[in-house]
Structure 1
Amino acid sequence: MTNAGRLGSLGLMAHVPQRLDPDRRRRRLELLAALANAKTARDHTQPQRLRGARIRELIASRRRLFH
């Protein structure tokens, strides 16, 4: 008896990747592109937000020292 016989029909199907229908594939690619764009936008705005927070903290600490 071969390995394929012991594995049954699911054993053979596991090696064949399932194809998505064209509309689902297109929507999936659009979603992945939108997620990548959102991550890029967030990465660009995050340093500015952190820089602003650091500057505010420096101003607050200087006020505490001199007042």
Structure 2
Amino acid sequence: MDVTVCNVLIDFYMKCGKVKTARSIFDRMKVKDAISWTTMIFGYMQNSSNWEAISMFRDLNGLGW
């Protein structure tokens, strides 16, 4: 799937509270851009999953972003 379509789906599912579905889409993405990462981090924060947001930020930081 196109990265833009995946980013929109991640945002949609996070806003609906479907965190696991959003994460599944993110994990299956072959190409992730800055929007993919920030959408996941912000979505985790919106859904009170602060530790997951911090963990994802660390993963992103570990990739050199």
Length-normalised TM-score, structure 2:
0.26
Query: Larger Rg: 1 or 2?
Result: 1
- For CA contacts below 8 A with separation 6 or more, give which structure has more relative contact order: 2
User: More helix by proportion, 1 or 2?
Assistant: 1
Length-normalised TM-score, structure 1:
0.26
